[in-house]
Amino acid sequence: MSMMFDLFQSCTQAIRASVMIHRESQGDKEFHFQHWVRDRISETGHLFEEGGRNSYPDFRMVNMAEGYEVKGLAYPGRWLNYDSNSRVPTGFHNGRTIYYVFGRYPKLPDGNSYPVLDLVVCHGDFLNVTHEYEHENKAVRGFGSYGDILIRDRKMYVAPTPYGLLNGVAHHQTLILPVDIPIPHKIKKVGSIIRREVNELVVRYAFDLRNNQLTTERVPNPNAGREHLFYALRLKTGLDTLVTIRSEVPTEDGDTEA
């Protein structure tokens, strides 16, 4: 049993019905879209728990092993990638399948109510298929002239969004799932996507405090070239606009990366 298709339908129908995001004030820069998604989960009738400010994922289902992480993106603005504070995206965490809900909204709305422009719900494996990595923050003592300064190694990960990885998702409502998940009758395919594992993996990095240089160590990936297949899906009442993987990933400054 999964809630994911019900949530996708609820979000899609709300966007089509012009159900607005409501922020409490202009100072609410983080939770307004998350609250919109929370209301859509409530509409499905499934029981869930909402995490705290720094918990992961944002919503955890009660009667099924699923979690939902929400990422709101201002548009125009930064929407090709996002900061993941101390958490690498993944499709499985703490016994739960993890889905990500990305939504874009106007960067400069003329009030405290505004629409969701488009939406992508994706399985976490589309962003990163590795499940084994365990994040930890570490610290180094003894820095500074008197040796009493501590350096905290608090990692932040910057991951691409589906908008940065795919063509054909802007201004639509799209679901990205591994091909082995059964698709209900109300859903149609609008694309097949392949993500291919890289030849080398970063396993170590070091920062030289004398010259501010960061170096990395890489090892061969035992799964190099392995292909992971996904379907792009929409409600059958949605448009048939084809979804494809980008051959080059644009960066926020307008450049592209192969």
pLDDT tens profile 108-118: 988 899 999 99
Q: Quick one: how many helices (H) and strands (E) in the chain?
A: 3, 21
Per the domain annotation, does 79 fall within a domain?
A: yes
- pLDDT one-digit tens code per residue, 224-255: 999 999 999 999 999 999 999 998 766 654 44
The parent domain of residue 116 ranges over 4-195+226-257
Please give the model's pTM, rounded to 2 decimal places. Answer: 0.92
Per-residue buried b or exposed e for 202-220, using 16+ beta carbons within 10 Å of the residue's own CB: eeeeeeeeeeeeeeeeeee
Q: Which residue did the predictor score with more confidence, 213 or 135?
A: 213
Per the domain annotation, does 211 fall within a domain?
A: no
Six-digit token string for 215: 């170096």
Q: Residue 76: is the preceding peptide bond cis (ω within 30°)? A: yes
Per the domain annotation, does 37 fall within a domain?
A: yes
Number of domains in the chain: 1
